[in-house]
Each structure stands twice: as C-alpha cells, then as structure tokens.
C-alpha cells in the first residue's frame, strides 16, 4: 500500500470515528413534564370547604401570524368540507388569545394542606373531541385522570387519532365516518399530550390531563375561569402550543373564599415562530431559513 493510499485511509477512518462518536454522544432526555398538576394521595379526603376561583384574560402582544392555508388535495372530502382550511394554532381576536390551557400546578390551601393532598373525584361525564372539517374540535381540551374522552368523526372521510403521551401508553386508532365514538382515558397526569391524525398531518389537538379539576381553556375573547378553587396560594401555569413542548407562563395567585383571584397572561408574537437557526458551537450560529 503506498503512502498516498495510507493517508486517504487514515483520514477517512478518523472522520468516520468522529461521526460515530458524535452520534453516540449522550443526548438530553426529553422533558417528561412530571408537573401534570397537583397530585392526589391514596386515601385522601375530599375538600368540603368554601371556594373561590381564578380568572383572567390571555392577551397576544404584537401582530399575530396569519393562518396558513392547508393543502387538502390529498383528500377531496376535506377540501369539500372546509374549502378555506387553514391552521388554527394561533387564534387572536382583538388582541386576545384563544386555546391557552391554564391550570393550577401546585399550591397550599389555607387549611395548610397541599392541594394534591385532597381527593378530587373523577367526573363521570365524558369530554367530547370531534373531528369536523378536518380539524379537531376543540383544539385544546382538559380532562382529569381516568376521565373519559369521547372521540367522534363528523367528516365524510376516515381519520386516525394518534396521541403521543410521555407518561401514558401511546395508542393509534382509525375512525371511519359514521363509526361509533371512541372512548379513551389517560391514567396519569400530563401537560399536554399532543394528538395528531396520521391521515391528515395538519390536524393537531392537545389534551391536558390533571388529577385535579383546576384547569380551563381560554375562549376566543381570551377569558378563562378556574372554578371551585379552595382559598389558598397557588402556582398557575398558562400553556400554549409552539416549540418542542409548548410555551408556558407562570404566576403565583392568592384565592380567597367567594372571590376570583386574578391572573392575566400575555404571549408575544416573537414566541410563535420556531427558531430555525442551528447553533453548532456556542459562539457560532449559522443563520438558515428564518420565517
């Protein structure tokens, strides 16, 4: 083997080892988000005292991104049901943001116990999730652990419901038009579980699962209200979709009996676009496609 060949081989081997070594480097584990709201201990007693509420308005600062048109050519039924189908990830009306999931993460009731130390019964009524106009409706919803979600298909086409939880078993099920409702539940708290349709990849929904009933989703006027909250001091989280695990804001709120604790949140336009630049090294940024 001549010298030139040896040089080529050594260089190629070195680069290959570098490539394999960097690929095998420990990556960060995905954030499993164990903060699925306050927990409930086994054998805990229910809360029977006075209650208040937490209410507020979610605002959107700056110009909201325009909805993006969706290409429905792969399924004519979607185009027929909704000729102007567009994205519904950022719904802003008069500066107010809809579909923000607001919940009590943790807190202490005035009596001294943590909110998770009480027993919160699971509602027997199912929460509805419909597939209509090739969108999920509602886009964001909340349930308690083990509470039933009743999934229906109101479209003239087949859908495929695929939640991707981190703390709960994953499942994937097809639902034809006219098929009976699919009833599912999640046993563990998780905020928030993304849901998608593998048939129509633009379809997305998010399900917040909590052990307590203290959550709400903001309306089109940005308003939300979490009712039946025991007086006490709480950490309240407002979550909206965007980025790898959503965007969150946090606030400490004090609730008194028969009154509403105020918690307004604001999200800005700078947080809605996914950053597409690649940071290869701390001091070097390669600007790519910024939208």
Partner 1 sequence: MSKGLNRFAILVACATFFLIIAGALVTSNDAGLATPDWPTSNGLLFPPMVGNLFYEHGHRMIATTVGLLTIGLAIYIRVKEKRYWIWRLGMLALALVIVQGLLGALTVKMMLPLGVSAAHATLAQLFFCTTVSIAVFTSRSWIEARTLPDETGSPLRYMCTFALAIIFVQLILGATLRHSAKWDQHLPVQMVVAHIIGAFGVTIALGGTAFSVLRRHKGEAFLTRPATIALVLLVVQLFLGVAAYLTRIGSPNDPQPLHPMIGITVAHVACGALVFATTIVLTLRTYRVLPASEAAMKMAARPQES
Candidates 128, 157, 235, 271: give the one binding partner 1 (CB under 8 A): 157
Candidates 53, 82, 137, 158: give the one binding partner 1 (CB under 8 A): 158
Candidates 123, 201, 228, 268: give the one binding partner 1 (CB under 8 A): 201
Q: How far is the CB of 73 from partner 1 (least distance, A)?
A: 10
Question: Pick from 182, 206, 202: which is nearest to 193 by CA?
Answer: 206
Q: Which residues contact 72 (CB under 8 A, 6 or more apart)?
A: 78, 79, 82, 85, 134
Q: How far is the CB of 24 from partner 1 (least distance, A)?
A: 8
Residues within window 179-198 making contact with partner 1, judged by CB under 8 A: 198
Cis peptide before 139 (omega within 30 of 0): no
Candidates 51, 53, 64, 77: give the one binding partner 1 (CB under 8 A): 77
Burial of 168 (0-12, 13-18, 19+ CB in 10 A): buried
Q: How far is the CB of 170 from partner 1 (least distance, A)?
A: 6
Q: Rule CB under 8 A: is residue 124 a binding residue for partner 1?
A: no
Task: For partner 1, give the closer residue by CB, 42 or 281.
Answer: 281
Burial of 217 (0-12, 13-18, 19+ CB in 10 A): buried
Q: How far is the CB of 281 from partner 1 (least distance, A)?
A: 10
Residues within window 160-179 making contact with partner 1, judged by CB under 8 A: 160, 162, 170, 172-174, 176
Q: How far is the CB of 16 from partner 1 (least distance, A)?
A: 5
DSSP assigned state of 161: E
Q: How far is the CB of 28 from partner 1 (least distance, A)?
A: 9
9: phi then psi, degrees, rounded to nearest 5: -65, -45
Candidates 120, 136, 202, 267: give the one binding partner 1 (CB under 8 A): 202
Burial of 174 (0-12, 13-18, 19+ CB in 10 A): middle
Candidates 38, 57, 58, 70: give the one binding partner 1 (CB under 8 A): 70
x-marked contacts with partner 1 along 80-99 as a string, rule CB under 8 A: ------xx------------
Distance CA 184, CA 148 (A): 6
Q: How far is the CB of 231 from partner 1 (least distance, A)?
A: 42
The string of DSSP codes covering 134-150 is TEEESSEEEEETT--EE
Question: Pick from 163, 135, 129: which is nearest to 70 by CA?
Answer: 135
Q: Rule CB under 8 A: is residue 71 a binding residue for partner 1?
A: yes
Q: How far is the CB of 274 from partner 1 (least distance, A)?
A: 4
Percentages of the chain per state (helix, strand, coil), in multiples of 5: 10, 40, 50
- Bridge partners of 217, per DSSP, are 101
H or E stretch covering 38: none
Residues within window 10-49 making contact with partner 1, judged by CB under 8 A: 11-12, 15-16, 18-20, 22-23, 25, 27
Distance CA 205, CA 161 (A): 10
| Residue numbers at the binding site for partner 1 (CB under 8 A) | 1-2, 5, 8-9, 11-12, 15-16, 18-20, 22-23, 25, 27, 68-71, 74-78, 86-87, 157-158, 160, 162, 170, 172-174, 176, 198-202, 244, 273-274, 276, 278-280, 288-289, 291
């Amino acid at each position: 083997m001549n010298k030139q060949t040896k040089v080529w081989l050594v260089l190629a081997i070195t680069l290959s080892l570098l490539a394999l070594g960097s690929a095998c480097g420990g990556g960060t584990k995905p954030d499993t988000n164990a903060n699925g709201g306050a927990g409930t201990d086994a054998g805990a007693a229910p809360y029977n005292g006075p209650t208040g509420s937490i209410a507020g308005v979610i605002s959107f600062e700056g110009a909201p991104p325009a909805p993006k048109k969706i290409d429905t050519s792969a399924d004519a039924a979607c185009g027929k049901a909704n000729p102007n189908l567009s994205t519904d990830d950022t719904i802003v009306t008069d500066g107010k943001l809809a579909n923000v999931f607001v919940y009590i993460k943790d807190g202490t009731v005035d009596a001294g116990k943590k909110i998770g130390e009480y027993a919160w019964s699971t509602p027997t009524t199912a929460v509805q999730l419909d597939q209509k106009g090739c969108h999920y409706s509602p886009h964001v919803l909340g349930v308690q652990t083990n509470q039933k979600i009743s999934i229906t298909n109101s479209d003239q086409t087949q859908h495929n419901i695929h939640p991707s939880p981190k703390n709960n078993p994953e499942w994937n099920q097809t639902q034809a038009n006219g098929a009976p409702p699919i009833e599912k539940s999640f046993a563990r708290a998780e905020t928030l579980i993304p849901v998608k349709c593998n048939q129509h990849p633009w379809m997305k929904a998010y399900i917040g699962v909590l052990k307590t009933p203290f959550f709400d989703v903001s309306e089109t006027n940005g308003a939300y209200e979490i009712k039946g909250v025991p007086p006490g001091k709480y950490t309240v989280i407002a979550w909206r979709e965007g980025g790898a695990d959503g965007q969150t804001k946090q606030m400490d709120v004090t609730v008194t009996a028969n009154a509403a604790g105020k918690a307004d949140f604001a999200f800005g336009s700078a947080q809605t676009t996914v950053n597409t630049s690649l940071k290869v090294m701390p001091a070097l940024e390669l600007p790519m496609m910024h939208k």
